[in-house]
Amino acid sequence: MFRLHDVSYAYGGSQAGVAALSHVSLDVAQGEFRWLLGPSGAGKSSLLSILSLEVQASSGMVEILGVPVRQTRRAGLARLRRRIGAVKQDFGLLPDMSVFDNVALPLRLQHRAEAEIAHEVHAIMKWVGLEHRLDALPPQLSGGEQQRVAIARAVIYRPALLVADEPTNALDERQAGRLMRMFHRLAELGTTIVVATHNDAIVAKYPAPTIELLHGHLVRDHG
């Protein structure tokens, strides 16, 4: 769950920067699934970056999973990040690490046992249909495969908050359907999920409450 109150964000600093979000307030409860909609430049990626603690809001109050971000020290933010999963548009995979190592990375940073890591990675990679590509390097995969690896890495540690930026972009209809079913299953288990998309068809097929942005302003919050 997260709460934003009067949040603004500007690239290049709050004074002279370019405004990406203006006075956005939101309150999303635990286990909710929300579509994040809006045209390019509406501020969707900025909002997801704030939620995944990739950037700090220029002003306003941000509270994620009960933790006030501005008042929390760096070590506390690091602990909070371990409860947040993020799927980025560029996938964010390390090109010199195998698929296995990329997906195992969050668990290794949590110092899990190697046997447990191997079990979890095999299970999630089987689910995304890439259990046969564990030793491949990301550049050897197609865009859709890389996207599935990025999704696997984001959900392998069962985050409390999952943010995804266009996660179905490179997926075919069948894989996109599987992904949406998984997202809804995670939400039922208590994960708060925000998915940014331009894909009206998938929004229509899997209806859910929406957050809509336009020029950095919140224009619709159907919670």
Q: Among 4-12, 18-26, 81-89, 139-147, which window interacts with another protein (CB under 8 A)? A: 81-89
Q: Which two tokens stand for residue 214?
A: 């336009």
The phi and psi torsions of 43 (rounded to 5 degrees) equal 110, 10
Q: Kindly write down the DSSP assignment for every residue of 92-112, as one continuous string.
A: T--TTS-HHHHHHHHHHHTT-
174 binds another protein (CB under 8 A): no
177 binds another protein (CB under 8 A): no
Is the Cβ of residue 8 or residue 175 nearer to another protein in the bound state?
A: 8
Q: Which of 100, 138, 155, 168 binds another protein (CB under 8 A)?
A: 100
For residues 153 and 38, give the distance between their C-alpha atoms in angstroms, rounded to a whole number: 26
| C-beta neighbour count of 30 within 10 angstroms | 14
Q: Among 30-38, 50-58, 124-132, 177-185, which window interacts with another protein (CB under 8 A)? A: 50-58
Minimum distance of another protein from residue 37's CB (angstroms): 24
Distant-in-sequence, close-in-space partners of 94: CB < 8 Å, separation ≥ 6: 101, 102, 105, 138
- Per-residue contact string for residues 104-123; x = within reach of another protein by CB under 8 A: xxx-xxx---x---------
| C-beta neighbour count of 127 within 10 angstroms | 15
Binding site for another protein (CB under 8 A): 52-56, 74-75, 77-82, 86, 92, 94, 96-98, 100-101, 104-106, 108-110, 114
